[in-house]
Structure 1
Amino acid sequence: MMEFMPLIMFICICLVLMLGFPVAFTLGGIALAFAGIGILTGTFDPAFLEALPNRLFGLMSNQTLMAVPFFVFMGVMLQKSKIAEDLLESMSILFGRWPGGLGISVTVVGMLMAASTGIVGATVVTMGLISLPTMIKQGYSPKLATGAICATGTLGQIIPPSIALVILGDVLSSAYQQAQLSMGIFSPKTVSVGDLFVGAIIPGLILVLLYGLYIYCVALFKPNAAPAVKREELIAQSKHDHLGLIILFGLIPPLLLIIAVLGSIIAGVATPTEAAAVGAFGATLLATLRRQLNLETLRDVCQQTTQVTCMVFMIFIGAAIFSLVFRGFGGEELIQSVFNDIPGGPLGAMLVVMLVIFLLGFILDFIEITFVVVPIVAPILLAMGLDPVWLGIMIAINLQTSFLTPPFGFALFYLRGVAPKSVATSDMYKGVIPFIIIQLLLLIGLAIWPELATWLPEQVYGN
């Protein structure tokens, strides 16, 4: 019985989370309860909990994780100052006159919004409020409109600079070092957040191109589902009455900001944390120049940034407690023995892990999965010889697909909360299915050709 305590603890946490209890306190509370039972029965060594202060200090002094509040601040500032809304307006005026152009514009802007916020909920809600009424008004099929918004909202998992990749990169770095030490490599290599950012560029762009191609094909074969929009109508609704001014004020500034943030990381000029700080400052500067920044907006941005950051770091603490107790009960040895017994070696183990992560994506957010599941399975998978960058990108796209899959996908819940009542939930479910198929095809492609994720980091960093 006691050898299955890690599994029982994990199942209890999943059940309690499904009841709606806060993630951070569920992780820490149940782990401490099981540790207490283990101490009373003599099956748990309390010395494991003595390592907790060192773990927490490591989180507090982690330079990489400082990027989280900066990226959140940048995304929220772009949203609150209506820069994202103007960006969508500009893209729609440029491309809306072609069949499917408005849908493709929503995809591109959703990609940029996802890159700046990195939070699925924020992107889906923002795009739903800004673009869904416009698409419905212009005669777009509710299925195509809602499917495109949900799919582009989940791009925050894979499009750099992404908070998900920042957190995943930090966890995978520790897991990679642990895996190498277990193999007797005492001068271990590291995997950085920059590696994941660069590795995600090609898969992310492929995904966006496939989304755009699908929307274009729908417009080509079903013109009524994605009709063209007269540019004059869109310009008449704009704040500016000249196409040049629309591009100058609505399109170029946010694009330059995102390119500067990502380009500085890829070029090695700045670390992700430094680039995130520049992005936060740049978003504030843009809001100031556009006269969209006031004390009320600044207060809202700071409050939302603080809330998200506190949530993330409270989950860090709960996950650290869970990890120590899980290891104290021999959880790592149990998982390793299970993986060794799975037929197919590393491929079989990878398939099982991806399936478990996909299912957990229905009830847990990417932060919880990254800090609860990934530290358990990643060292074992990496010790089997899997590439850490490839593994990270596969996990990110897998979670993205999970968040999009009905009936439990988070993106669907977020959009349902802001969508007009005239848009049926069944239309949303049907609308996302083609995009889910596209993501599954990309996962299969990455499994067959890992170079899609590993080639560019090798060229940039020479790893």
Structure 2
Amino acid sequence: MSIELTTLLFFGSLIFFLVLGLPLAFVLGGVSVIFLYFTWGIDSFYLVASQIWGTMESFTLVAIPLFVFMAMVLERTGVANALYRMMYLWSGGVRGGLAIGTVFICAIFAAMCGISGAAVVAMGTIALPSMLERGYDKHLALGAINIGGGLGILIPPSVIMILYSLITGVSVGKMFAAGVLPGLLLVVLVAIYIIVRCYFQPELAPALPPEERAEWPEKLRALRSVLLPILIVVMVLGSIMAGIATPTEAAAVGVLGALISSVVHRQFTWQLLYDAALRTFSLTGMIMWILFAAHAFSAAYQSMDAQTLIEGLMANIPGGPWGTIIVMQVILFLLAMVLDPIGIMLITLPVFMPIVTSLGFDPIWFGILFVINMEIGYMTPPFGFNLFYLKGVVPPSITMPDIYRSVVPYVLVGIVGLAIVMIFPVIATYLPDRLF
């Protein structure tokens, strides 16, 4: 059988079973194992086992359950409530201030833990009712929470970045450093969008009336709520970027910070610890199964020499190397509408990375483009995760079409941010080059 026909059958089978709604791990693993057997026979399974064993020996892998556990603890500690009150007091007097403050809180939350859902659920529960009560347009408020929550995978630490590093072999520390400036860039772009829109349409996000605004003593007292989150961020990111700790060691320190936070906010209970551990086991188990399936996929993809075919197709894309990179971004954007980021990563990276490196592009820079695309995918209809996280906590009066409509301008802001990082790669590469 020719390479073209084998590759078509392979990827066609993957898409067919994914469309049927079967679990990603079973589709990736099952189809790959079947194709491996008919391509190389029973001995090919040793290749899969060898790759899985190599991954399981990776010390970096331990960081995933630690960062997930840290996020599960922080979600219940009351940190989000204290942060929102502080932002409410400081930014409520500005048009759109509560929405901008919500995005900044999401950025702080993102710098404390490595997943997206925690900030969306927290702000959907705390910030959204407050904004709606004060006359904010529901679409403006919902969109701000959606894009803010997506920052959890771009601003380090990030579980997605750890998985990217495991699959591509790049440094986790460099990926974390590379995500800082693009993450801050997106926060600034979203803030500019909200400010400009509220300037021309002040009725969308009215400022708090003077009698509800806080006095300076109260504002200054509220700043105490930022000290603990900043301490956790310094403990995690500072220790990595200063070279004091590896990402895995920093994740353990972050767990300690999250537990201290729960004690300070008087939220620590054995039930909290039990629930956080149970959810961590569940999420980590899912990630591990998908990772195992990815190795089967990678082995099958390499064994049928599909890489040669894909590279040949990419070479014929008009626009040269940059045309290839742009086509890759379009493919990632479209996939993010229907698949979860881990699935997209495991399906595309074995195909894309050899091409990216052969064209002379920095894999760290490409990794940041990939993560920004996944962040946009978290809020892109019809299957963006943040859309469903938010639907679970909004009032019944807000429908799914409302949430879908709210993200449109914010998706465009995210695409602008992606384009800026593409045009100016130094935004992603400056910190890794300086720190490492």
**Corresponding residue number in structure 2 for 1:374:** 349
1:158-307 equivalences in 2 (<5 Å)? 158-173=154-169, 191-229=170-208, 233=212, 242-248=218-224, 250-307=225-282
**Corresponding residue number in structure 1 for 2:417:** 442
**Corresponding residue number in structure 2 for 1:85:** 81
More deviation, 70-79/210-219 = 210-219
Which of 77, 83, 102 pairs up with 2:98?
A: 102
Summarize deviations over 1:407-448 as a string: whole Å, max 9, x none: 343322332232222224343333222211111112222222
Distance in 1 of aligned mates of 2:133 and 2:179: 35
Identity of aligned residues (%): 38
Q: Secondary structure at the match of 1:418?
A: coil
Distance in 2 of aligned mates of 1:30 and 1:125: 35
Kindly report the root-mean-square deviation, in angstroms, between the aligned alpha carbons of the 2 structures: 2.2
**Corresponding residue number in structure 2 for 1:5:** 6
**Corresponding residue number in structure 1 for 2:33:** 32
Q: CA deviation at 1:233?
A: 5.0
User: Compared with structure 1, are the counterparts of its residues 300 and 133 closer, same or farther at alpha carbon in structure 2 (3 Å cutoff)?
Assistant: same
**Corresponding residue number in structure 2 for 1:314:** 289
Which of 382, 389, 401 pairs up with 1:407?
A: 382
Point out where structure 1 has 5 or more consecutive residues left out of the alignment. 174-190
Amino acid at match of 2:172: V
Q: CA deviation at 1:75?
A: 1.1
Q: TM-score, normalised by structure 1?
A: 0.88
- Is 1:148 the equivalent of 2:144? yes
Q: CA deviation at 1:225?
A: 1.2
User: How many residues matched?
Assistant: 434
Summarize deviations over 1:297-330 as a string: whole Å, max 9, x none: 1101101111111111111111111111222222
User: Compared with structure 1, are the counterparts of its residues 351 and 85 closer, same or farther at alpha carbon in structure 2 (3 Å cutoff)?
Assistant: same
Summarize deviations over 1:4-27 as a string: whole Å, max 9, x none: 323322232233223322211221
1:389-400 equivalences in 2 (<5 Å)? 389-400=364-375
Amino acid at match of 1:164: I
- Is 1:131 the equivalent of 2:106? no
- Is 1:453 the equivalent of 2:428? yes
- Is 1:114 the equivalent of 2:110? yes
Distance in 2 of aligned mates of 1:46 and 1:337: 30
List 4+ stretches of structure 1 deviating above 4 A.
Answer: 230-236, 241-245
**Corresponding residue number in structure 2 for 1:338:** 313
Contact 1:74 1:283 in 2 (8 A): yes
Q: CA deviation at 1:230?
A: 5.2
More deviation, 61-70/346-355 = 346-355
Q: CA deviation at 1:232?
A: 6.8
Q: CA deviation at 1:78?
A: 0.7
Distance in 1 of aligned mates of 2:383 and 2:325: 23
Amino acid at match of 1:435: Y
Amino acid at match of 1:247: L
Amino acid at match of 1:205: L
Contact 1:45 1:328 in 2 (8 A): no
Amino acid at match of 1:222: Q
Distance in 1 of aligned mates of 2:89 and 2:57: 46
Contact 2:189 2:417 in 1 (8 A): no
- Is 1:74 the equivalent of 2:74? no
Distance in 1 of aligned mates of 2:213 and 2:269: 28
Point out where structure 2 has 5 or more consecutive residues left out of the alignment. none
Amino acid at match of 1:15: F
Q: CA deviation at 1:346?
A: 1.8
More deviation, 52-61/291-300 = 52-61
More deviation, 442-451/391-400 = 442-451
Amino acid at match of 2:222: I
Distance in 2 of aligned mates of 1:402 and 1:53: 32
- Is 1:19 the equivalent of 2:20? yes
Distance in 2 of aligned mates of 1:233 and 1:35: 67
Contact 1:362 1:410 in 2 (8 A): no
Distance in 1 of aligned mates of 2:419 and 2:380: 17
Distance in 2 of aligned mates of 1:234 and 1:27: 55
Distance in 2 of aligned mates of 1:231 and 1:261: 39
More deviation, 305-314/359-368 = 359-368
Summarize deviations over 1:102-144 as a string: whole Å, max 9, x none: 1111001111223333323333233212221111112110010
Distance in 2 of aligned mates of 1:131 and 1:196: 31
Distance in 1 of aligned mates of 2:125 and 2:279: 18
**Corresponding residue number in structure 2 for 1:181:** none
Contact 2:112 2:236 in 1 (8 A): no
